[in-house]
C-alpha cells in the first residue's frame, strides 16, 4: 500500500484527562525524568535494556510526533515512545535489546506503515487511573492521522514469572487470552482491543516475564476509549463508513423537501438522512453515503436490516398467504408464533398469547385483560415510563412536554409513581438509602394514593427506554412482584424496547430473577415488520369474553413469518453471547468518554442497550439538551446515526442492530466519541470561566 508521508505536527498534542493530568507531546527537557521513570516502572528489567535519557532525545530527533507523556503538576508520571516501521510478521523474533541498543531505534522509517510502541510505563502511584489507556489512545490517533495500518508492540507478560513452573508460556498465553488467567499487563491491553499475534521467547531479560514477551496489535480499524477519530478519513478503506457528498446530499435534500410538503409536521425526525437501502448495521442514503446505524429503528432491528432469513421467510409467506385475519380463519404462522412466545417468556406456568400490531396496542390489550381478570379499574405506572401514543397508553406515558402537550384530556384511573434514578439520588442520601426509600414508597402509595383492592395492574419497563435507559433495580422489581402477589394485582412487564435479546438475555426482567404475569413485546419481535404480542398466564389471557379481543390486522401471516425467523435467530446462545460482548465494548468506550469529559455525567444501561447522559455541571447534574443535539448532528456528519432520549432530552441512546460486528461498533463509537470531544471542547472555555 502507499502511505502518506510524515505530516508535521502543527499543534503540539495536548489532552486534559481530568484530575490535573495532561497528556502532551514529549519535550527534550523531559529526558532525565523519563530515564528515572523507567527505573521505577521496570525495576526487574536488566539495566542495559532500559531506555536512558539519550534514547528519549533520539526518539524526538527521529520521530517527535510519536512521543507522549502524562504530566501532573510539572512531573512526568507516565510516558510512551514510538517509531514507525515496516514489520515482518513472519519473522518477528527480534529482542528488546535490539530495540534499545541500535537497529530498531536508529532505523526509524518515516514511511513505515506500522506504529511500533517501544515502551509504555505508568508510575505506580498513578496506576488504575486510565493513563495507559490515554497513551494508547494518543498513539491510535496518530495512527489515524498518518493513515497507518495500526499500532503494535512487544508487550510484557508480567505475571508469568511467578507461575512459570505451573504453565508453559504458550499455555499461559492461551489462558490469559480466554480470560481464565489475569496478567497484570497483557489482560489490560486485551481489554483495550489489542490482538495477540505471537509469543516472543527470550525477548528481554526480566524475571517477571521469564524473559518472554508477546507481540500484540491494535489495527487502525479499531477504536479505543478516549481516542478521537477524524470525522472523515482520506483513506476510503478505513472501515464501513463511506461519505462522498455533503450530509444531507442533494438527493436527500430533495426527498426531505417532499416530506416537508406532504407529511404532517408533528412527525419528528432524528436525522436529515434519506435512506435508500440498508443491510446488517449499515444504512445507505439516497446519495450513496454509507452510515453505521446506532439507532436500529429505535430498537426494532435486533437481527439487523434486511436479515436474509427474515427476508426469505417474508417472501415465502407472501407467496402463500398475505392476509385473511385471525378473526376470520386460522393459519399456521399465527399459532406457531404464539407457541414460541409461550415457550420463551419467563415463568413455568400455562401461558397463552395474543398478537397485535404495535407496542401501544399490545399494552392496551394487556390492560384490558388485567382489568377483566381482576374486575378492578386502576393502573399504576412510573415516572419516565413510555408505553405508546394511543389515548390510554399516552395517558400512561411520562414526559408530558414532548408526547402529551395539547392532547388531553387523558384516561382516568391512572396512578403514576416515582421510579428510582440512582444517578439523580437526592442530596443527603446514598444510592442505597435512596433505593430503600423508593421501595418503601410503593407501600406508602397503596395507602396514600390508592387502595390495592382497586388496582388491576402495575406496568413497568424493566429498563426504561425513552426515560433514559434506566435499569430498574432488582429490589424494586421484587417489591412490585411481592405487592402483586399479596393483593392480587397483575404485574405487566413492558419489554417492547428492552426485550428480545437487547440486554444479553431474551427478556430484560430475567436479569432481576422476577417473573411477571404478562409480558408485552413488539419492535424487534418482528424484525421491522409491524407486530406485537401479549404473553402470560393462561387464566388472565382467557379472561376476556369471546370476541372481546383482536383486530383486523393483528398477527398478519407475513409479520408472523418474519417474527418466527427473528425469534429463532435471537434465542441462539451464540447470538446472545455476541450481544453481551457488544455491551462490554459499549460500556468500555463510553466510560472512556466519561473519564475524559465532564460533559458526560453518566453512562448506563444493560447489555447492548447503553446510554450517555450529558450535563453542564457534574455536581448539579444540570441537563445539557442543546449540547446533546449538537453531538448527534456532528455524529451524523461523520457517518453515524444516533438519537436522543431521557426525560430532559440530554442523553444519546445506543440501540444498534445486534448483528453489528465489533469492528463496526468501535468505528461508530469512535465517530460518536469525536463528536462528544468536539462539543465538550467548544464549551470548555465557558466552563473554565465559571
DSSP 210-240: TT-EEEEEEETT---TT----SS-S-TTSSS
Residue 244 within a domain: no
Residues 77, 124: Cα–Cα separation, whole Å: 9
- Which residue did the predictor score with more confidence, 185 or 608? 608
Return the CATH number at 684: 3.90.1150.10
Question: Most confidently modeled of 54-63, 154-163, 207-216, 656-665?
Answer: 656-665
Answer yes or no: do 549 and 662 share one domain: no
- Which residue did the predictor score with more confidence, 6 or 447? 447
Q: How many domains does the chain have?
A: 3
Residue 226 within a domain: no
pLDDT surpasses 70 at 11: no
* Domain span including residue 32: 14-219
Residues 473, 480: Cα–Cα separation, whole Å: 11
Nearest one of 298, 587, 635, 297 to 466, comparing CA atoms: 298
Answer yes or no: do 133 and 164 share one domain: yes
- Tens digits of residue pLDDT in 589-624: 999 999 889 999 999 999 999 999 999 999 999 999
Residue 545 within a domain: yes
Residue 471 within a domain: yes
Supply the pLDDT for residue 275: 94
Domain stops at, among 219, 235, 262: 219
Residue 669 Cα distances to 133, 413, 591, 611, 659, angstroms: 16, 43, 12, 12, 16
The predicted model gives 188-215 an average pLDDT of 73
Answer yes or no: do 482 and 362 share one domain: yes
Residue 240 within a domain: no
Supply the pLDDT for residue 98: 57
Supply the pLDDT for residue 234: 37
Domain stops at, among 173, 203, 219: 219
Positive or negative torsion for Cα 533, 538, 540, 541: positive
- Residue 471 burial (CB < 10 Å; 0-12/13-18/19+)? buried
For cell 436527500, the residue is: 252
CB within 8 Å of 76: residues ≥ 6 apart: 30, 33, 34, 37, 69, 70
Answer yes or no: do 450 and 524 share one domain: yes
Residue 560 within a domain: no
Return the CATH number at 85: 3.40.630.30
DSSP letter, residue 170: H
Answer yes or no: do 31 and 156 share one domain: yes
Residue 567 within a domain: no
Supply the pLDDT for residue 88: 74
Answer yes or no: do 339 and 197 share one domain: no
List, as one string, the DSSP characters of 316-335.
Answer: HHHTT-S---TTT---HHHH
Query: How far does CA 287 lie from the centroid of its chain?
Result: 28
Supply the pLDDT for residue 95: 54
Place 202 in a pLDDT band, splitting at 50, 70 and 90: low
Answer yes or no: do 82 and 133 share one domain: yes
Answer yes or no: do 537 and 600 share one domain: no
pLDDT surpasses 70 at 233: no
- At 517, is the secondary structure helix, strand, or coil? coil
The predicted model gives 242-268 an average pLDDT of 90
Answer yes or no: do 680 and 551 share one domain: no
Answer yes or no: do 153 and 196 share one domain: yes
Return the CATH number at 399: 3.40.640.10
pLDDT surpasses 90 at 683: no
- Residue 62 burial (CB < 10 Å; 0-12/13-18/19+)? middle
Answer yes or no: do 298 and 351 share one domain: no
pLDDT surpasses 50 at 236: no
Residue 108 Cα distances to 9, 33, 96, 463, 619, angstroms: 17, 23, 15, 52, 48
The predicted model gives 283-294 an average pLDDT of 93
- Tens digits of residue pLDDT in 487-545: 999 999 999 999 999 999 999 999 999 999 999 999 999 999 999 999 999 999 999 99
Please list the residues that pair with 545 across neighbouring strands: none
Answer yes or no: do 285 and 340 share one domain: no
Residue 313 within a domain: no
Amino acid at each position: 500500500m502507499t502511505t502518506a508521508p510524515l505530516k508535521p505536527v502543527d499543534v503540539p498534542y495536548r489532552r486534559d484527562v481530568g484530575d490535573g493530568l495532561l497528556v502532551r507531546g514529549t519535550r527534550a527537557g523531559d529526558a532525565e525524568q523519563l530515564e528515572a521513570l523507567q527505573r521505577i516502572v521496570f525495576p526487574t528489567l536488566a539495566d542495559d535494556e532500559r531506555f536512558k535519557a539519550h534514547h528519549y532525545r533520539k526518539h524526538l530527533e527521529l520521530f517527535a510526533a510519536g512521543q507522549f507523556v502524562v504530566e501532573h503538576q510539572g512531573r512526568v508520571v507516565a510516558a510512551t515512545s514510538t517509531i514507525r516501521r515496516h514489520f515482518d510478521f513472519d519473522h518477528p523474533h527480534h529482542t528488546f535489546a535490539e530495540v534499545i541498543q541500535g537497529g530498531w531505534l536508529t532505523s526509524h522509517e518515516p514511511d513505515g506503515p506500522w506504529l511500533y510502541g517501544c515502551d509504555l510505563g505508568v508510575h505506580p502511584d498513578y496506576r488504575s487511573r486510565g493513563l495507559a489507556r490515554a497513551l494508547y489512545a494518543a498513539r491510535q490517533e496518530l495512527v489515524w492521522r498518518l493513515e497507518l495500518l495500526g499500532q503494535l508492540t512487544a508487550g510484557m507478560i508480567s505475571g508469568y514469572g511467578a507461575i512459570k513452573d505451573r504453565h508453559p508460556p504458550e499455555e499461559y498465553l492461551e489462558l490469559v487470552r480466554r480470560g481464565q488467567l489475569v496478567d497484570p499487563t497483557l489482560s489490560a491491553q486485551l481489554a483495550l482491543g489489542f490482538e495477540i499475534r505471537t509469543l516472543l521467547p527470550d525477548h528481554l531479560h526480566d524475571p517477571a516475564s521469564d524473559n518472554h514477551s508477546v507481540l500484540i496489535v491494535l489495527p487502525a480499524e479499531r477504536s479505543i476509549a478516549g481516542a478521537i477519530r477524524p470525522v472523515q478519513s482520506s483513506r476510503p478503506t478505513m472501515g464501513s463508513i463511506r461519505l462522498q457528498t455533503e450530509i444531507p446530499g442533494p438527493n436527500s435534500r430533495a426527498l426531505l423537501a417532499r416530506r416537508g410538503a406532504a407529511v404532517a409536521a408533528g412527525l419528528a425526525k432524528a436525522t436529515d438522512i434519506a435512506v435508500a437501502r440498508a443491510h446488517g448495521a449499515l444504512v445507505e442514503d439516497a446519495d450513496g453515503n454509507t452510515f453505521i446505524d446506532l439507532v436500529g429503528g429505535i430498537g426494532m432491528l435486533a437481527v439487523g436490516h434486511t436479515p436474509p432469513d427474515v427476508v426469505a421467510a417474508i417472501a415465502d409467506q407472501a407467496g402463500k398467504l398475505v392476509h385473511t385475519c385471525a378473526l376470520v380463519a386460522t393459519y399456521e404462522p399465527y399459532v406457531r408464533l404464539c407457541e414460541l412466545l409461550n415457550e420463551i417468556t419467563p415463568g413455568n406456568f400455562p401461558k397463552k398469547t395474543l398478537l397485535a400490531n404495535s407496542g401501544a396496542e399490545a399494552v392496551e390489550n394487556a390492560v384490558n385483560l388485567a382489568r377483566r381478570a381482576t374486575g378492578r379499574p386502576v393502573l399504576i405506572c412510573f415516572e419516565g415510563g413510555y408505553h405508546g401514543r394511543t389515548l390510554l397508553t399516552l395517558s400512561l406515558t411520562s414526559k408530558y412536554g414532548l408526547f402529551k402537550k395539547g392532547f388531553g384530556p387523558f384516561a382516568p384511573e391512572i396512578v403514576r409513581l416515582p421510579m428510582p434514578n440512582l444517578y439523580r439520588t437526592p442530596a443527603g442520601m446514598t444510592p442505597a438509602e435512596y433505593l430503600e426509600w423508593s421501595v418503601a414508597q410503593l407501600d406508602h402509595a397503596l395507602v396514600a394514593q390508592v387502595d390495592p383492592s382497586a388496582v388491576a395492574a402495575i406496568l413497568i419497563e424493566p429498563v426504561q427506554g425513552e426515560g433514559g435507559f434506566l435499569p430498574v433495580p432488582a429490589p424494586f422489581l421484587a417489591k412490585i412482584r411481592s405487592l402483586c402477589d399479596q393483593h392480587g394485582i397483575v404485574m405487566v412487564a413492558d419489554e417492547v424496547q428492552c426485550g428480545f435479546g437487547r440486554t444479553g438475555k431474551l427478556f430484560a426482567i430475567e436479569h432481576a430473577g422476577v417473573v411477571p404475569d404478562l409480558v408485552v413485546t413488539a419492535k424487534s419481535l418482528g424484525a421491522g415488520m409491524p407486530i406485537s404480542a401479549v404473553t402470560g398466564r393462561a387464566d388472565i389471557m382467557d379472561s376476556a369474553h369471546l370476541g372481546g379481543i383482536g383486530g383486523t390486522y393483528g398477527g398478519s401471516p407475513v409479520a408472523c413469518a418474519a417474527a418466527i425467523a427473528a425469534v429463532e435467530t435471537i434465542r441462539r446462545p451464540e447470538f446472545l453471547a455476541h450481544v453481551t460482548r457488544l455491551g462490554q465494548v459499549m460500556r468500555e468506550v463510553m466510560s472512556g468518554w466519561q473519564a475524559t469529559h465532564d460533559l458526560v455525567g453518566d453512562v448506563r444501561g444493560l447489555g447492548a442497550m447503553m446510554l450517555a447522559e450529558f450535563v453542564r455541571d457534574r455536581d448539579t447534574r444540570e441537563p445539557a439538551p442543546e449540547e446533546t443535539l449538537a453531538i448527534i448532528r456532528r455524529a451524523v456528519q461523520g457517518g453515524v446515526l444516533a438519537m436522543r432520549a431521557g426525560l430532559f432530552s440530554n442523553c444519546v441512546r445506543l440501540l444498534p442492530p445486534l448483528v453489528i460486528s465489533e469492528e463496526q461498533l468501535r468505528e461508530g463509537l469512535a465517530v460518536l466519541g469525536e463528536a462528544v470531544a468536539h462539543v465538550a471542547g467548544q464549551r470548555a472555555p465557558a466552563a473554565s470561566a465559571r
